[in-house]
A and B are shown apart, each in its own frame.
Chain A
Amino acid sequence: QVQLKETGPGLVQPTQTLSITCTVSGFSLTSYYMQWVRQTPGKGLEWMGFIRSGGSTEYNSEFKSRLSISRDTSKNQVFLKMNSLKTEDTGVYYCARANWDYWGQGVMVTVSS
């Protein structure tokens, strides 16, 4: 069956880089877009970006040049990296499949010194 699971650090210091991995099973990354979404106390649910089945990416301009999404299809993994973290980036980060039909359980990230 389709499963998605995010893994990442619980705590990141301000100005540092966040790295989260989404490991999927039950489908191929070469057949589906993968989305990244976050949920913060300040802004609620925000679409961050996606990586297409062909590997190209699109990002929410809100995150300007801080965000990078990549993947390793051989490992069924999608990666989110965001630099220059601020306390306002504290929240839960989710990966989701293309049509929003399957989501990971989310990973809570706290940005604090």
Chain B
Amino acid sequence: DIQMTQSPSSLPASLGDRVTITCRASQDIGNYLRWFQQKPGKSPRLMIYGATNLAAGVPSRFSGSRSGSDYSLTISSLESEDMADYYCLQSKESPDTFGAGTKLELK
């Protein structure tokens, strides 16, 4: 199975900060990478698909990028509503596999 190594596991940040979360794939996944946001008690929400494409309704302060086998989710200017858990997901090869998650919290 393809392993997705997500870092950091916890990210304290302040409102207005630029933050970046990264997933590293254990083998080539092309651009078959999605990012999800999950708030407590809620189901995950698709934020990014195809590594760099913003899902419908997602604010433009979110962006996705790729450098080799490293995939990043960046929030350009953190807002209070962005405090949540974030997960990456690869869908290049079955089974689809998720990263372990990053908890974004206020510093």
Interface size class of B (residues with CB under 8 A): 20 to 34
Residues of B within 8 A of A45 (CB): 44, 87, 89, 98, 101
Point out the residues of chain B lying under 8 angstroms from A101, CB to CB: 46, 49, 55-56
Give the interface segment out of A9-17, A23-31, A57-65, A69-77. Answer: A57-65
Number of interface residues of A (CB under 8 A): 17
Count A-B pairs with CB separation below 8 Å: 42
Interface residue A104 (Cβ < 8 Å from any Cβ of B): yes
Q: Is B100 an interface residue (CB 8 A)?
A: yes
Chain A residues in the interface with B (C-beta under 8 A) = 44-47, 58, 60-62, 94, 96, 99-101, 103-106
Given A45-B87, A99-B46, 20 additional A-B pairs, CB 8 A: A44-B98, A44-B100, A44-B101, A45-B44, A45-B89, A47-B95, A58-B94, A60-B94, A60-B95, A94-B44, A96-B43, A99-B49, A100-B49, A100-B89, A103-B44, A103-B45, A104-B43, A105-B42, A105-B43, A106-B43
